[in-house]
Structures are given as structure tokens and as C-alpha cells.
Amino acid sequence: MQAAVLTNVTKLYGRFAALKNLSVTLEAGAVYLVLGENGAGKSTLLRMLAGLSLPTRGGLTVLDGPANKQQRRVAYMSHATMLYDELTAMENLTYYSGLRKGSGECACSGSPEMALRAVGLDPHLNKPVSQYSQGMRQRVSLARVLSADPEMLLLDEPFSNLDVHSVAQMLDLLKDFRTWPLANGHARTIVLTTHQAELAMPLADHVLRIQAGEFVSMEATQKQ
């Protein structure tokens, strides 16, 4: 099964092409590291896979369907942590999990409490996230996407603001995440971007390089 298929995808912002005729296939169950310089189009690609932005031209399927219809199977962690400052970590996660349940489409096996413990945070910490350090907010944000129990996890710069020890913990957690069984029996896919490629390399199965919106290469990492 394919996690995503892009066929000649172009994304225009006005007359500016953030992605140009990009054709790539992402296999289900693999970890893809997307590399490219600032402005290469990495976030644009992730936002499309998340169904938050549509291609201007070209074909895109995610988990064998239209990207904007797969949002309950896909979780996206952007640069911005997307947390409500005045709520605690647990309240934030409970709120988001309520939104998913409200849609009647929740397939989550992870609870907010389990997700917070998994990222090394105390679910009972009675402090609004505005008082958390940037690194802690990043963990809450990761817990938020993990508790959605996604088949495809999209992480945009997940290591920014984390110290080396926290990065190692996050990598271990993502390695575990790959093995968590899904109710539909499918394998989980991770797509992540980072400017710290050396940190993510041990987790990655494939490296996709893009430059100025164009495909450069797709290579399997050494461990394959």
C-alpha cells in the first residue's frame, strides 16, 4: 500500500511556484526524511499531505484517497505548536480528542494521558502551557498528534527547541510509534522535515531532497 502518491504536483502562491511538477511515491510503513534549504517547499509538501492545502495542479492521493478526506487518519505537527496557552497540557489534549470524537470518526487507541506520559510529561501538571518552556510545549504538541493515533504522522521541524537528550527521547518514541498496531492492520508512515538531518537519519528509511520546489532525489538510507 502507498501512503501517498504525488503526480506532477505544482503549488502556486499567486504566480510563485512553491512546488513544481513534483512526482513522488511514499510507501506505507516507512519513515521519510524531507530535506531542503529554507524555502525549498518542505512545509508546503507536508501541509498538502495533511489535507490543509490543495495542489494547484497535479494529482495527490493520501492513504489511497483524496488528501482532504483523510484527516482523521493523518496527524500534522507544524512549526507552531497549536496549543491553547491558557489550558494545561491535559486540557489541551482532551480538547483536541473531543474534537475528533465530535466528528464521530475517532479511531484513537491512545488516550491523552498515555500520550503525555509517552513524551515524558506529567499529565497531572496543573499549569497552563503558557508557563511551559519551549521544549515542553513541543512535547505537548507531539503528544497531541500521537494521541490522534494516526496512520500517517507528519512532523515539521519536530526537533527545533529540543536539547540533545530530548531529541534522543523523541526518536525512541517515534521508533516505538511505528510498531504500535493500528486497528485496520495497516503500517504507520512518518514524514518529517528537519534542518538537523544527522539527528533524524537513524530513524529514516528514505531521504527525499527538494530544492526550490523541485525534486532532487529520493534515496534509501544505509540501513535498508
Ligand X SMILES: Nc1ncnc2c1ncn2[C@@H]1O[C@H](COP(=O)(O)OP(=O)(O)OP(=O)(O)O)[C@@H](O)[C@H]1O
Report the interface residues with ligand X, using CB under 6 A: 13, 16, 18, 36, 38-44
Q: Indicate the residue among 76 and 96 with the shorter CB distance to ligand X.
A: 76
Least separation in angstroms between residue 154's CB and ligand X is: 12
Cβ 215 vs Cβ 178: under 8 Å: no
Pull the grid cell for residue 103.
466528528
Least separation in angstroms between residue 32's CB and ligand X is: 14
In sequence order, the 6+-apart residues with CB closer than 8 A to the CB of 219 are 206, 207, 209
* Rounded Cα distance, 170 and 177, in Å: 10
Pairing of strands 74-77, 152-156: parallel
E strand or H helix at 44: helix 42-49
Least separation in angstroms between residue 100's CB and ligand X is: 26
Least separation in angstroms between residue 34's CB and ligand X is: 8
In the numeric block, the cell 538510507 is attached to 221
E strand or H helix at 177: helix 164-179
DSSP 66-134: EGGG-TTTEEEE-SS----TTS-HHHHHHHHHHHHHHTT-----S-HHHHHHHTT--TT--S-GGGS-H
Q: Indicate the residue among 41 and 110 with the shorter CB distance to ligand X.
A: 41
Q: Indicate the residue among 16 and 164 with the shorter CB distance to ligand X.
A: 16
Pull the grid cell for residue 81.
505548536
Q: Indicate the residue among 80 and 164 with the shorter CB distance to ligand X.
A: 80
Q: Indicate the residue among 38 and 179 with the shorter CB distance to ligand X.
A: 38
Q: Indicate the residue among 39 and 59 with the shorter CB distance to ligand X.
A: 39
Q: How far does CA 177 lie from the centroid of its chain?
A: 12
Least separation in angstroms between residue 41's CB and ligand X is: 4
Least separation in angstroms between residue 38's CB and ligand X is: 4
